[in-house]
Chains A and B, each alone.
Chain A
Amino acid sequence: MSVVPTIRVQSRDFDLQEEISALTAGRRDIGAVVTFTGLCRDEQGALSALELEHYPGMAEAEMQRIGRLALERFSLMGLTAIHRYGKILPGENIVLVIAASPHRQAAFDGANFVMDFLKTSAPFWKKEHAQDGTARDWVAAKDADDTARDKWR
């Protein structure tokens, strides 16, 4: 049976429990579910919001590609990745990754792998909005994210 990742790019929020249930419904063979949720933080009060821009079409395609790589590499039983776009306030969700497998290590590694590649190759960009409402600048890409990705080579 070939498993396909569930990939969504959306402006609306997601519900963690709903997404876990959708992934595990009717299954008796899944022994581990690892989830990662990325949230918008306010950077010690300096930020009022993040604006998430994406490349429609390519964002979904690239997330599918990353998801398929993870399914194959870690023999996952299921994978969900959801990324939001638009204006996101501190405390709100940005991204969700759920990996399911028979045992915990593959699920941990699968979710970690997907996040490392999402950050470095899925076409999304963050712009910061300052507390006074003015647009600050685009978030700069971090070398540490490339290093995190390269450990999977």
Chain B
Amino acid sequence: MSVKLVYFAWVRERIGKGEEEIELPDSVVTARDLLHHLKTLGEEYENALQYPEVIRVAVNQEHVEHSEKIAGAREIGIFPPMTGG
């Protein structure tokens, strides 16, 4: 599955880019799987996703729990807890 990933705030800064299109292996089923897969892609990903449990994931611009499946996602947002308002 090929998917567009978009990163924000310190996740974006640590990975070093705002977005990318990547090919996911079949073993990546849930949002949690995705975060753990990304961590294996290099030091910058490891650094950004060191504590995956604090990272928020949005599929097609809607928040999802880490246990949710990401099949059919066109765009996945990966970012730290929000601090607007």
What residues make up the interface of A, taking CB atoms closer than 8 Å to B?
Answer: 38, 52-55, 57-58, 61-62, 83, 94-95, 115, 118-127, 138-141, 145
Q: List 15 A-B contacts (CB under 8 A).
A: A52-B84, A55-B61, A55-B77, A83-B84, A95-B84, A120-B81, A122-B84, A123-B79, A125-B10, A125-B79, A125-B80, A125-B82, A138-B10, A140-B83, A141-B83
CA–CA, A58 to B85, complex, Å? Answer: 15
Decide yes or no whether B6 CB sits under 8 A from chain A. yes
Docked-complex contact B63 and A124, CB < 8 angstroms: no
- A126 and B61 form a contact (CB under 8 A): no
Please state if B84 and A118 are interface contacts (CB–CB under 8 Å): yes
**B23 interfacial contact with A, CB 8 Å:** no
Contact B79 A126 (CB under 8 A): no
* Least Cβ–Cβ distance between B57 and chain A, in angstroms: 11
Min C-beta distance of B44 to chain A, whole Å: 17
Assess whether B77 is in contact with A123, with CB atoms less than 8 Å apart: yes
Report the interface size for chain B: residues with CB under 8 A from the other chain.
Answer: 16
Query: Is B49 engaged at the interface, CB distance under 8 Å to the other chain?
Result: no
Question: Which among A53, A58, A115, A141 is the interface contact of B77 at CB below 8 angstroms?
Answer: A58
User: Least Cβ distance of A18 to chain B in Å?
Assistant: 21
Of B61, B63, B80, which contacts A141 at CB under 8 A?
B80
Of A55, A122, A127, A140, the residue contacting B85 (CB under 8 A) is A122
Q: Is the CB of B82 within 8 A of A127?
A: no
Q: Which 6 A-B pairs have the closest CB atoms?
A: A124-B84, A141-B81, A119-B85, A125-B9, A58-B61, A139-B83
B53-64 to A contact mask, C-beta < 8 Å, 1/0 = 000001001110
Cα-based distance from A119 to B10 in the complex (angstroms):
17
Known: A55-B61, A55-B77, A125-B79. A138 touches B9 (CB 8 A): yes
If the complex has contacts A55-B77, A58-B58, A58-B61, are A126 and B6 also in contact, measured as CB distance less than 8 A? Answer: no
Q: How far is the CA of A120 from the CA of B9 in the complex (A)?
A: 15
B19 CB to closest chain A CB (Å) equals: 11
Note all chain A residues with C-beta closer than 8 A to B9.
53, 125, 127, 138
- Which residues of B are found within 8 Å of A138, using beta-carbon distances? 9-10, 80, 83
Nearest CB in chain A to that of B60: its residue: A58
Q: Which residue of B lies closest to A127 (CB)?
A: B9
